[in-house]
Copies of this chain bind each other. A is one copy, B any other.
Amino acid sequence: MPGNSFGTIFTVTTFGESHGPALGCVVDGCPAGIPLSTQDIARELRRRRPGGGGPATSRAEADEPELLSGVFEARTLGTPIAIIVRNTNQRSTDYDALRDVYRPGHADWAWEAKYGVRDHRGGGRSSGRETLSRVAAGAVAKRFLSEYGVTVRAWTSAAAGIQVIRPEDPGFSLEEAEANPLMVPHRESAERIMERIETLRAQNDSAGGIVSCSVMGLPPGLGEPVFGKLDARLAAAMLSLGAAKGIEFGAGFAAASGTGSSRNDCPVPKDAARLSPAVPALRYQTNNAGGILGGISTGMPLEFKVAFKPVPSISKPQQTTDRQGAIRELIIQGRHDVCIVPRAVPVVEAMTALVLTDLLLLHRCDTQIRIST
């Protein structure tokens, strides 16, 4: 498959440039009979929109999704679900100055090196606005997962150089994360980060950060060894985000300096019916593995973190090169996020939901065949 489709049997194909007529997606392979409405999609898109007064861009799009196919009488048909969102608030002339110059930290030149041409308006398809399609598709996946009791939640766990408290710390609150524009699960941390962001904004500079993600209710057995492992699929999903520069699962990089005896998660019996006559129900005493062993979900919470680099569009003067190959000084104008991390939160959730839905469906057909049924 070319680069704009993702998934094996529950797939999404996305399309759209930042300043073209529309962005959208086609979700194929969604089982029939799932309740789905435009509101389910609109709700997720709103979470991705820039917060008022927050760290984000001042481009204000309505981002109203339109459902073109695949749903009939409020339920999925089993046919492809196409969703589009019109671009309505483009100020493309803001970008005229960028037609012949390559922005530092952006894909501008690499894109031309690959394709020979580039839509310079707002970064074209390499814009962060592309993630809107992913969030729309992810809303379908989330709807599906909710039928299985699987919950995907992400939050800002570090931003602008400031660490946020961890889930096991007192005061951690996912409700709080939804209540502040930074998606930070702790009021004081949010305030400190906002201060730092305002300082950076005054300095015409920008920040990066880390998004943490946790999935509850995932059954054991998801993942398709050896190349379609759960962590491999999630890593691909996350590193396909423009500003992502790293991912770690469970104890992650810290695990690399530990020892087997300190890092192994020991299984203990679980008070539950056996999975099958041959296989008992278990849980693990610790979760250094982040819910994945051998690329397969263990039934423990799935936990991972994604690192995002600072926003490359800054208004500070920078040295760069133009299409003629001449050195130029560049001061980027226009509307830009100081810190993209909060807006990455629903995107990380969406991509996670897409991966899990695909693997959940694959698990049903690849391995759980009960011959006698």
Q: Bound state CA distance, A13 and B137, in angstroms?
A: 15
Which residues from B are CB-within-8-Å of A324? 280
- With A221-B110, A279-B116 known to touch, is A2 a contact of B29 (CB < 8 Å)? yes
Residue from B15, B32, B210, B276 within 8 A of A367 (CB atoms): B32
In the complex, are the beta carbons of A106 and B294 less than 8 A apart?
A: yes
Nearest B residue to A270, CB-CB: B325
CB of A295 within 8 A of CB of B242, answer yes
Chain A interface size band reads 35 or more
Residue A54 is within 8 A (CB to CB) of chain B in the complex: no
Identical copies of this chain, number = 4
| A216 contacts chain B at the CB level, 8 A cutoff | no
Contact status A210-B256, CB under 8 Å:
yes
Interface assignment of A252: CB less than 8 Å from any CB of chain B:
yes
> Are A256 and B308 in contact, with the CB atoms below 8 A?
yes
Partner of A255, one of B17, B102, B208: B208
CB–CB B207/A259 < 8 A:
yes
Instruction: Please state if B255 and A200 are interface contacts (CB–CB under 8 Å).
Output: no
- Give Cα A235 to B246, complex, Å: 9
A-B contact pairs, 11 of them (CB 8 A): A2-B10, A4-B225, A9-B9, A79-B225, A160-B257, A233-B236, A263-B312, A280-B325, A282-B325, A364-B364, A364-B365
In the complex, the answer to whether A239 meets B245 with C-beta atoms within 8 Å is no
Bound complex: CA A245 to CA B297 (Å) = 14
A274 to chain B: closest residue by CB = B325
Q: With A107-B296, A116-B276, A323-B278 given, is the CB distance from A80 to B15 under 8 Å?
A: yes
Q: Which residue of B lies closest to A338 (CB)?
A: B260
The 8 closest A-B pairs by CB, nearest first: A107-B294, A3-B224, A246-B248, A365-B365, A2-B29, A280-B325, A206-B260, A236-B236
Name the B residues within 8 Å of A240 (CB-CB).
226-229, 231-232, 295
A253 to B237, CA, bound (A): 17
A285: nearest chain-B partner, CB-CB:
B319
Set of chain B residues within 8 Å of A119, measured between Cβ atoms? 72, 77, 79
A33 touches B69 (CB 8 A): no
0/1 per residue, A99-131, Cβ < 8 Å to B?
Answer: 000101111011111111111000011100010
Q: Does A62 contact B (CB under 8 A)?
A: no
Q: Is the CB of A236 within 8 A of B247?
A: no
> In the complex, are the beta carbons of B256 and A250 less than 8 A apart?
no
CB of A352 closer than 8 Å to a CB of B: no
- CB-CB contacts of A72-86 with B at 8 A, as 1s and 0s? 100101111110100
Q: Are A232 and B242 in contact (CB under 8 A)?
A: no
A258 within 8 A of B: yes
Q: Which residue of B lies closest to A289 (CB)?
A: B105
Is A245's CB under 8 angstroms from B249's CB?
A: yes
**A125/B68 contact (C-beta < 8 A), A226-B14, A323-B280 known:** no
Residue in B242, B290, B361, B365 whose beta carbon sits within 8 Å of that of A294 in the complex: B242
Asked if A66 lies at the interface with its beta carbon under 8 angstroms from chain B, I say yes
Contacts of A244 in B (CB 8 A): 231
